[in-house]
Amino acid sequence: MLKTTVAGSLPKPNWLAEPEKLWAPWKLEGDDLWRGQCDAALVWLKIQEDAGIDIASDGEQFRKHFVHGFLEYVDGIDWAKMTTMGIRDNRYDADVPTVTSKVKRRGPAHTKSTAFCREHAQNGLKITMPGPMTICDTIADEVYGKRADMAMAFAEILNEEALELQELGVDVIQLDEPAFNVFMNDVVEWGVAAVERAFQGVTVKKAVHICYGYGIEANNQWKETLGEEWRQYEQTFPALNASKSIDQVSLECAGSHVPHSLMSLLKDKDVLVGSVDVANKAVETPDQVAAVIRSAMQYVDPERIYPCTNCGLAPFPRDVAEGKLKALAAGAEIVRRELRS
Ligand code: ZN
């Protein structure tokens, strides 16, 4: 009960990439890069397991960017044709590659690294990939015309990858869909359908992570415009709860203005409750984490609660990320003990 897990990314060691910088270039190349990524993943698996995290991730040590790290393995994308695009409904500008012909999977993206992690992870292992809508919001389109059509094309590619990852023995496959908190009508119209296509035939736990973004300045400023209550989830959770293809929903909770009562809309799902904040560097106390979990228990049975991070911890200094992981596990243990007594 109250198994702990992470949303996905963790900081890169300073010998692999410049720390506290999202999407920093690699400091190694070729075989040295692969070896370095493996070493970094080993360190983070050990740190997560020592902290008491039940379902760990590779910390995304094998990819520079959570979307482009997957797209590098897709044909039909011109990386020389970078387009400056206002992404997440113009929240910030990003230089993104351009789809110039129908997309096709060139080969496996994450199977080699996941096989390595499966060999070394002692407990549960989660692998994350960008969701179809978020991919479409992070790439320029010269081919499909309609986002829903391009999303379905990427969903087919994600599905091929997911089926191979499942064979490797991962416990959870997660699609990251921060765009679900921006284009809420599209989620209902085609976003959930695209996720379902990506999960077709997948029998391990299938999760969707929906957050308000990394703790970077553009996101923190955007959050200030969202008002006293962040009710975006209210529009999308009913559609997610109705989907038979989704087992788990990961949401932002700690330090946010999300009304916790919205979790009651996920009555048929596991709920990955964001119990440590990614918008500030202050490390939570275990008691603060426990308070978030107890609050979630007003709306979700403890059997369905998985205490989690709000989002990836990649932009943080390493000691902050480590501290937050320890607090997360310790906070969950406090509540577990309360439930047993
Ligand atoms: Zn996130």
Digit-coded pLDDT (tens) for 281-290: 999 999 999 9
Establish if 141 belongs to a structural domain: yes
Give the range of the structural domain holding residue 254, as residue numbers without chain letter.
30-340
Q: How far is the CA of 311 from the centre of ligand 1 (A)?
A: 4
Nearest to 279 by CA among 302, 306, 235, 313: 313
Query: Model pTM?
Result: 0.97
Establish if 41 belongs to a structural domain: yes
The pLDDT value recorded for residue 213 is 85
Establish if 16 belongs to a structural domain: no
Q: How far is the CA of 272 from the centre of ligand 1 (A)?
A: 12
The pLDDT value recorded for residue 301 is 97
Q: How far is the CA of 2 from the centre of ligand 1 (A)?
A: 20
Mean pLDDT (whole number) for 18-33: 93
The region, left, alpha or beta by phi > 0 then psi within -120 to 50, assigned to residue 243 is: beta
The CA-atom distances, in angstroms, between 225 and each of 87, 137, 281 are: 17, 21, 21
CATH number for the domain that contains residue 201: 3.20.20.210
What is the residue-averaged pLDDT of the chain? 96
Establish if 54 belongs to a structural domain: yes
Establish if 104 belongs to a structural domain: yes
Amino acid at 94: A
Of residues 19 and 191, more confidence is placed in 191
The pLDDT value recorded for residue 288 is 98
Q: Which two tokens stand for residue 91?
A: 């929240």
Q: How far is the CA of 209 from the centre of ligand 1 (A)?
A: 6
pLDDT band at 89 (very low <50, low <70, confident <90, very high): confident
User: pLDDT tens for residues 158-171?
Assistant: 999 999 999 999 99
Nearest to 263 by CA among 225, 291, 301: 301
User: pLDDT tens for residues 90-127?
Assistant: 888 888 999 999 999 999 999 999 999 999 999 999 99
Mean pLDDT (whole number) for 35-55: 98
Q: How far is the CA of 212 from the centre of ligand 1 (A)?
A: 6
Establish if 130 belongs to a structural domain: yes
- Own/partner pairs, 319-327, CB within 8 angstroms, 24+ separation: 320/281, 320/283, 321/10, 321/11, 322/47, 322/51, 323/283, 324/276, 324/283, 324/284, 325/6, 325/47, 325/48, 325/51, 325/53, 326/51, 326/52, 327/276, 327/283, 327/284, 327/285, 327/286, 327/288, 327/289
Establish if 18 belongs to a structural domain: no
Establish if 6 belongs to a structural domain: no
Number of domains in the chain: 1
Q: How far is the CA of 341 from the centre of ligand 1 (A)?
A: 34
Q: Which two tokens stand for residue 170?
A: 């991962």
